[in-house]
Copies of this chain bind each other. A is one copy, B any other.
Amino acid sequence: MSDATKPTESPAAKAARLDTTDELAKLRDRFVLDDATVYLDGNSLGALPAGVQDRIADVVGREWGQLRIRSWTESGWWTAPERIGDRIGALTGAAPGQIVAGDSTSVNVFKAVVGAVRMAQQADPARDEVLVDATTFPTDGYIAESAARMTGCAIRAVDAADIAAAAGPRTAVALVNHVDYRTGRLHDLPGTTAAVHAAGALVVWDLCHTAGALPVGLDEHGVDLAVGCTYKYLNGGPGAPAYLYVRRDLQPRFDSPLPGWNSHRDPFAMEAAYRPADGSVRGRVGTPEILSLLALDTALDVWDGVSLDAVRAKSLALTDFFLECVAAYVPDGVVRSVTPAEHAERGSQVALRCSDAGAVMGELIARGVVGDFREPDILRFGFTPLYTRFADAERAARVLAQVLEGTR
């Protein structure tokens, strides 16, 4: 029996106490949510920010419907990718002018890895190895392999924790996930970045599971390139555009494999010869999907006045508390957390291993607790500090115990 279940304070009472003193509690009002569901899948698709419906109605009805073509300039559509990129930069520790929004994460991984390999080979043509972490989200590995194939490199998969040691004189670039999508393990971004640099190589970070969940410090830690999606903790909507970070001093050497006209120095001159733009714009490709992009723009309003340190503190408190409730409610040995107990190694999700996990998650969802299932035996629960309450964590653990009781 853990501390949380002392007679002096039940998990439910503790949840109520923690919610009462939560300085971020009021931010939940910035989202469209209901109390029937405990939504712990914001690490897959963030909840709807309250302002998005009105903004999109205006974008469709007025900007497209009435202004039509004029909106490319008058409604700021054309410059939205870099403007929104800067807003993402404010949440990931990147000064303006280094992030551009657009395309999918996969497409951005391709730009980033090819771009990084070219920079590395420009300095040393003998560098012909791309390192990827062995438990990467699949698309990063698939795309890195294509990037390697198309730049004459070999790919080598190693555990993310071993990337620092694995980087060597043949390494061109290492592609690492900041948080493992299954286990929720947070990898050492500053240390790995420094080690890869010491080996003379570049590092590309995938921030899908950290942007909006904790401070990333892209500039502070000297990250070379980074990519990420915006539909998880950034709540940008289904399939919302991803983004690409290229550190300012590397931008002049960024040689994109997808040099679409949106990245041209003077796109409307319609020149036959490609001349890349300066700055983050160089990472653009084709015409951005404006409806999805501007939904993201408004979704980012929920961050006004929010401290990422406070978000991180609440994230850790939520996952700590959820694990405490699971320990209190679920008999020993029925589930096992594969998410690190150490704060320094934990993202903003808890992954529990249990038998028959697919069926268990199905039943949880039927009872209003929405997480997700990942092969082969993982229950994933994402904790979004902007809208998840401690009471939600308590209820999720309690319903989980009931489901597990029923399935044994």
Contact = CB atoms under 8 A, between A and B. Distances in A.
A291 B285 contact: no
Interface string A282-323: 000111111111010000000000000000000000000000
A138 B292 contact: no
Contacts of A60: 48, 52-53, 56, 237, 295
B48 A53 contact: no
A179 interface: no
Interface string A349-389: 00000000000000001000010101100000000000000
A242 B146 CA distance: 22
A242 to B, nearest CB: 7
Interface string A251-275: 0000011111110100111111010
A134 B273 CA distance: 11
A286 B143 CA distance: 10
B237 A272 contact: no
B69 A143 contact: no
A110 interface: yes
Contacts of A295: 60, 291
A215 interface: no
Given A64-B237, A138-B272, A260-B142, A231 B292 contact: no
B142 A287 contact: no
A234 B71 CA distance: 18
B260 A104 contact: yes
A106 interface: yes
Nearest to A65: B48
A238 B291 contact: yes
Given A72-B238, A142-B274, A374-B270, A286 B105 contact: yes
B68 A285 contact: no
Nearest to A271: B138
A157 interface: yes
A47 B63 CA distance: 11
Contacts of A222: none
Contacts of A129: none
B239 A293 contact: yes
A82 interface: no
Nearest to A63: B238
A77 interface: yes
A57 B48 CA distance: 12
A274 B44 CA distance: 22
Contact of A258 (B39, B107, B229, B270): B107
19 contacts: A32-B61, A39-B68, A45-B68, A45-B69, A48-B61, A48-B64, A53-B60, A53-B65, A104-B285, A138-B267, A139-B261, A142-B264, A143-B258, A145-B274, A239-B293, A242-B286, A289-B289, A289-B291, A292-B292
Interface of A: 32, 34, 39, 41, 44-45, 47-48, 52-53, 56-57, 60-61, 63-66, 68-72, 77, 103-107, 110, 134, 137-139, 141-143, 145-146, 150-151, 157, 182, 229, 231, 237-242, 256-262, 264, 267-272, 274, 285-293, 295, 365, 370, 372, 374-375
